[in-house]
Amino acid sequence: MKRTNPVKFWAQRLSLRHVLTGMVLLWVLLLILFPLGGMFQKVLAAEPVSCLKSLLAPSARLSFKLTFWLTLGAVILNTFFGLVIALILVRQNFRGKLLLEGLIDLPFAVSPVVTGFMFITLFGNNSIMGHFFDEKGIRIIYAFPGMMLVTLFVTFPFVIREIVPVLKEYGVEQEESAYVLGASSWQTFRKVTLPSIKWGLLYGITLTIARSIGEFGAVLVVSGAIINKTQTATLYVHQQFTDFNYTGAFAAASVLALISFVFIMMIQFSQKKVKGGTWE
């Protein structure tokens, strides 16, 4: 009876494909799934009633509401201006284009602490802008506008970076044909350009939503963390954690993660599948 060497046995059956897939899955498991799972497990282990109670508390609800409005504002403004900037970047030629490209990526280079610090320097009591707005009676920092600005800053690049490659790929021929046929710029944009960048745009919006929901460092510095007024969901999680209310903290954090995850999964599943790929 021939003795089979187990190593040889498996080596014959497992190809590079399997090994690589296995290793990658293990990596994802250890780095992402495991910590996340641990967090969800802690939430599920706690009494669901107390979890629910802490989630429905006024300060929790208000913090989620605040995050909602900040996210909505970021999505609307950064999508609108993102489209404008992307169109300029791809369809037009002008001096300083390289500088523009660099500026778009700048928010990635700035640490959240520094972001908050910059806006405090810009709009604080001791600055020109600060005095200007103070005279008008408008509060920028330690109030909603400051938090909105900071959220806009950190989520600025996402939509642009997703649309630009698609626009570049797409080319101008169809748009030019539309012009020749008599369509106005707006019509061309709406009926020709927009549908072609649809998936890039939606993905950029999803990333904007996810980043905006999860932003912590910059908002911490710029908001004053006034309970029920300038406390976002992430600041609420932080507060709960420092109050030793771990259940409340993890419950809220899980909700935030789930919301982002839902948006991301929706993009995944609603895209037309292309051979082996995961988006067009």
Partner 1 sequence: MKQIWMILLCLCLLFGCGRTKQPSEQPVTLTLGAFTVPKEVYQKQIIPAFCAHWKQKTGRDVRFEQSYEASGTQSRAIQSGFEADIAALSLEKDIDAIEKAGLITHDWKNNPGEGFVTRSIVVIAYRPGNPKNIKGLEDLAREDIDVIYPSPKTSGGAMWVVNTLYGAGLKIAELKTGHKNSALAKKFLKSVQKRVKVMDKSGRMSVTTFENGIGDALLTYENEALLRQKQGYLFPFMVPEASILIENPVAVIDKNVEKHGNRKAAEAFVDFLYTKESQMAFAEYGFRPIDDTLALKLKETFPRPEILFDIHYLGGWDNIQKILYSNEGIWNEIINELANEN
Partner 2 sequence: MKSSTNWPMKTECLRKNVFCLRGLAVGYIGFLILLPIAALGASAFHSGPGAIWRETTLLRSMASLKLTFILALMTVILNIFTGTATAWVLVRYEFPCKKFINGLIDLPFAIPTVVTGIMLVVLYGPNSMIGAVLGRFGLEIIFNQPGIVLALLFVTFPFVIRAVQPVLIEMEKDLEEAAMTLGASPFQIFFKVVLPTLLPAILTGAALSFSRALGEFGSVVIVAGNIPFKTLTAPVYIYGEIESGNLTGATSVSLVLLTLSFSILVLIHFIQRWSRCHETD
Residue 32 CA: distances (Å) to CA of 26, 27, 28, 37, 40: 10, 8, 5, 8, 12
Q: Which residues of 154-186 are buried (b: 16+ CB within 10 A; e: fewer)?
A: bbbbbbbbbbbebbeebeeeebeebeeeebeee
Torsion 44-48-50-55 (CA) sign: positive
With beta carbons less than 8 A apart as the criterion, state whether 138 and 131 touch: no
Restricting to residues 77-136, which ones interact with partner 2 according to CB under 8 A?
A: 81, 84-85, 87-88, 92, 94, 98, 100-115, 117-119, 121-122, 127
Taking the complex as a whole, the smallest distance from the CB of residue 29 to partner 2 amounts, in Å, to 10
Beta carbons within 10 angstroms of residue 262's beta carbon: 10
Considering the complex, state which of residue 49 and residue 98 has its C-beta at the smaller distance from partner 2: 98
Task: Note whether 93 binds partner 1 by CB under 8 A.
Answer: no
Does the protein bind partner 2 through residue 46 (CB under 8 A)?
no
Give the interface size with partner 2 as a residue count (CB under 8 A).
88
Out of 125, 135, 173, 275, point to the residue binding partner 1 (CB under 8 A): 125
Binding to partner 1 (CB under 8 A) within 47-66 occurs at 61, 65
Stretch that binds partner 2, among 4-12, 133-141, 191-199, 230-238 (CB under 8 A): 230-238
Q: Quick one: which of 79, 86, 80 has its CA closest to 101?
A: 86
| 149 contacts partner 2 (rule: CB under 8 A) | yes
> Which residue type occupies 206?
T
CA distance 157 to 212: 12
Binding residues for partner 1 restricted to 238-277, rule: CB under 8 A: 239, 241-244, 266, 270
Q: Which of 162, 151, 170 is nearest to 234 (CA)?
A: 151
Residue 117 as a binder of partner 1 (CB under 8 A): the answer is no
Chain centroid offset of residue 1 CA: 61
Q: Which of 42, 46, 69, 81 binds partner 1 (CB under 8 A)?
A: 69
Q: Which is nearer to partner 1, 107 or 124 (CB)?
A: 124
CA 145 to chain centre: 19
Q: Smallest distance, Å, CB 180 to partner 2?
A: 7
Q: Does 226 bind partner 1 (CB under 8 A)?
A: yes
* Selected binder of partner 2 within 60, 147, 201, 207 (CB under 8 A): 207
**Binding stretches for partner 1 (CB under 8 A):** 61, 65, 68-69, 72, 120, 123-126, 130, 134, 139, 141-142, 224-229, 239, 241-244, 266, 270
